Amino acid sequence: MFNNVTSKQWMGLAAFLFAIFVAVPMFIAATGRTDFYFTLTMVALLSIASGGVWLTFYIGRINIGQGAFALAGAYASAVMITKFSFSFWLALPLAGVFSALVAVLIGLPILRLRGVYFAMITLVLTEVVKLTSLALDITNGARGITNIPRPDGLSVFGLTIIPDFGAMENPKLGFYYLACVLMVLAFATLYRIVNSRLGHLCRSMQQNEELASSIGVNISHIRLIVFAISSFFGGIGGAMVASLTQSVYPNTFQVKDSVDFMLNVFLGGLGYVFGPMLGTLVIYFGWDLLFVAKEFQLLIYSTILIILMLILPNGILSLRLKKPGSDVAKAADASGLELKEGK
* Nearest residue to 187 via CA among 17, 4, 315, 15: 17
pTM passes above 0.85: yes
Q: How many residues does the chain have?
A: 343
pLDDT digits (tens, 9 = 90+) for 145-197: 999 999 999 888 878 888 899 889 899 999 999 999 999 999 999 999 999 99
The pLDDT-based confidence of 3 (bands split at 50, 70, 90) is low
Secondary structure string (H, E, C) spanning the chain: CCCCCCHHHHHHHHHHHHHHHHHHHHHHHHHCCCHHHHHHHHHHHHHHHHHHHHHHHCCCCCCCCHHHHHHHHHHHHHHHHHHCCCCHHHHHHHHHHHHHHHHHHHHHHHCCCCHHHHHHHHHHHHHHHHHHHHHCCCCCHHHCEECCCCCCCEEECCEEEECCHHHCCCHHHHHHHHHHHHHHHHHHHHHHHHCCHHHHHHHHHHHCHHHHHHCCCCHHHHHHHHHHHHHHHHHHHHHHHHHHHCEECCCCCCHHHHHHHHHHHHHHCCCCCCHHHHHHHHHHHHHHHHHHHHHHHHHHHHHHHHHHHHHCCCCCCHHHHCCCCCCHHHHHCCCCCCCCCCC
pLDDT score of 331 = 42
Other beta carbons less than 10 A from residue 20's beta carbon: 18
The answer to whether residues 210 and 204 touch, using CB atoms and an 8 Å cutoff, is: no
The answer to whether residues 275 and 268 touch, using CB atoms and an 8 Å cutoff, is: yes
pLDDT digits (tens, 9 = 90+) for 208-262: 888 888 888 889 999 999 999 999 999 999 999 999 999 999 999 999 999 999 9
Alpha carbon dihedral 340, 224, 179, 190, in 10-degree steps, equals: -10
Mean pLDDT computed over 84-96:
96
Domain boundaries along the sequence of the chain: 1-33, 40-256
Decide if pLDDT at 288 tops 90: no
Decide if pLDDT at 338 tops 50: no
Mean pLDDT computed over 328-339:
42
pLDDT score of 319 = 84
- Please give the Cα distance from 226 to 224 (Å, whole number): 6
pLDDT score of 260 = 94
- Please give the Cα distance from 319 to 331 (Å, whole number): 12
pLDDT score of 2 = 61
Decide if pLDDT at 343 tops 70: no
Torsion sign over Cα 5, 11, 12, 13: positive
